[in-house]
């Protein structure tokens, strides 16, 4: 009998490995012992194993999505100090956190001076989307434009555009910090135009709309970009002072700790 059980266990491990069910493989004997002790039937045993496999599989999938998103840092709304930026619509941000805007292919634009938490909010929304099973990709606008121009020169632009099209949410961070060339602006417009009503886009910028021409270089192109981005759009504006500057000032104002006697 013991020999038969050993043979069954070996075969079970082989089959679970072949079926790529690593959690069931790892936990089956432990759960079998628990179920035997608690007088749980075979279906109950199978249910527990399946639940563990699904939970672990979702955890691994989320980890892959977070890695693929390439966030500069993992920041959530729990880390954000809304008292430092009371102009931000906290209720709207909490609603957006649920991710329904993604189903509606809507755009979010965060406008404000440097250091006001725009990237933090965009990252928090992206993290939430990843945990909801969405595919997210974070780009600095300057880095994306550079990639687009390099792909164009290497005749790989179509391949890159296909890769960009697979994401549910594109985060375009820091639009406006560095002016783009004519070709770069046109390539960026093409990305935004392709994403229009197919993907959700989150944009952070330090410039009001009337100054976007300074970055994109052409009033016609700027108008076309804004027409697509603002059609179905949530605009969040941070008008407060830079959090980083405030934090640096607080640190400077703190009295220096006395040195211990030598």
Residue with more model confidence, 256 or 119: 119
Which residue from 37, 63, 61, 60 is spatially nearest to 48, judged by alpha carbons?
Answer: 37
Q: Which residue has the tokens 């527990």?
A: 48
Averaged over 105-125, what is the pLDDT? 95
pTM: 0.81
Buried b (16+ CB within 10 A) or exposed e, 154-174: eeebeebeeebeebbbbbbbb
Which residue from 71, 88, 123 is spatially nearest to 243, judged by alpha carbons?
Answer: 88
Element (H, E) at 246: helix 243-253
- 1 pLDDT above the threshold of 80: no
Report the percentage of the chain scoring pLDDT > 90. Answer: 61
6-10, 146-150, 200-204: least confidently modelled range: 6-10
104-113, 180-189, 242-251: least confidently modelled range: 242-251
User: What domains does the chain contain, in order, with CATH numbers?
Assistant: 2-69 (no CATH), 77-248 (3.40.50.300)
- 3 pLDDT above the threshold of 50: no
Averaged over 154-166, what is the pLDDT? 96
- 54 pLDDT above the threshold of 50: yes
Buried b (16+ CB within 10 A) or exposed e, 216-238: bbeeebbeebbebbeeeebebbb
What pLDDT is recorded for position 243?
62
Averaged over 239-254, what is the pLDDT? 62
- 248 pLDDT above the threshold of 80: no
């Amino acid at each position: 009998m013991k020999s038969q059980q050993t043979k069954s266990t070996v075969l079970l491990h082989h089959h679970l490995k072949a079926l790529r069910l690593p959690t069931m493989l790892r936990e089956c004997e432990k759960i079998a012992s628990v179920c035997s002790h608690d007088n749980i039937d075979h279906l109950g045993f199978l249910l527990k194993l399946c639940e563990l496999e699904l939970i672990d599989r979702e955890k691994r999938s989320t980890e892959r999505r977070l890695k693929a998103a390439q966030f500069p840092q993992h920041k959530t709304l729990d880390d954000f100090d809304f008292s430092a930026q009371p102009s931000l619509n906290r209720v709207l941000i909490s609603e957006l956190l649920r991710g329904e805007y993604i189903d509606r292919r809507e755009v979010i634009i965060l406008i404000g001076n440097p250091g006001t938490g725009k990237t933090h909010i965009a990252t928090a929304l992206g993290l939430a989307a990843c945990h909801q099973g969405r595919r997210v990709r974070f780009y600095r606008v300057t880095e994306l434009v550079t990639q687009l121009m390099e792909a164009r020169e290497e005749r790989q632009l179509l391949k890159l555009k296909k890769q960009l099209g697979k994401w549910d949410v594109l985060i375009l961070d820091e639009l406006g910090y560095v002016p783009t060339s004519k070709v770069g602006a046109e390539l960026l417009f093409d990305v935004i135009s392709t994403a229009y009503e197919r993907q959700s886009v989150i944009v952070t910028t330090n410039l009001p709309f009337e100054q976007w021409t300074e970055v994109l270089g052409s009033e016609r192109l700027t108008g076309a970009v804004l027409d697509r981005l603002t059609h179905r759009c949530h605009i969040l504006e941070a008008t407060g002072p830079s959090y980083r500057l405030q934090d640096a000032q607080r640190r400077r104002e703190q009295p220096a700790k006395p040195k211990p006697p030598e």
